[in-house]
Amino acid sequence: MAAVAALSLTACGSDDREPGKPAGRAEGTEDSKKAPESPKAAETPASPVKGVDLGLPKEMKLAFDFPLTGDKGKDAALRDAEDFVRSIYKGVAEQSADDPAHHMYAREDGLLYARDQIARRVDKGQTATGLRRHYRAETKESSNGTGFEVSFCLDESAFFTKDAKTGKVFKLKPSIEDYSRYRVVMTEVPKLPGAFQASKVDVEQGVASCKG
Lowest mean pLDDT among 33-42, 50-59, 122-131: 33-42
- E strand or H helix at 141, and its extent? strand 126-141
Q: 83 phi and psi, to 5 degrees?
A: -70, -30
> Which residue type sits at 90?
K
Q: What is the pLDDT of residues 178-200, one digit of tens each?
A: 999 999 999 999 888 899 999 99
Helices (H), the chain: 72-94, 101-105, 108-123
The 3-class SS string of 153-167 reads: EEEEEEEEEEECCCC
**Residue 162: beta bridge partners?**
127, 169
Instruction: Single out the residue of 161, 157, 111 nearest to residue 135, CA to CA.
Output: 157
Prediction pTM value: 0.78
pLDDT at 95 over 70: yes
The three-state secondary structure class of 145 is: coil
For 128-159, what is each residue's pLDDT tens digit? Answer: 999 999 999 999 999 888 899 999 999 999 99
In this predicted structure, what is the pLDDT of residue 122? Answer: 97
According to CATH, the topology of domain 3-32+58-210 is Nuclear Transport Factor 2; Chain: A, (3.10.450)
For the chain, the average pLDDT equals 81
Query: Contacts by 34-37 with C-beta closer than 8 Å and gap 24+?
Result: 35/11, 36/11, 36/12, 36/112, 36/116
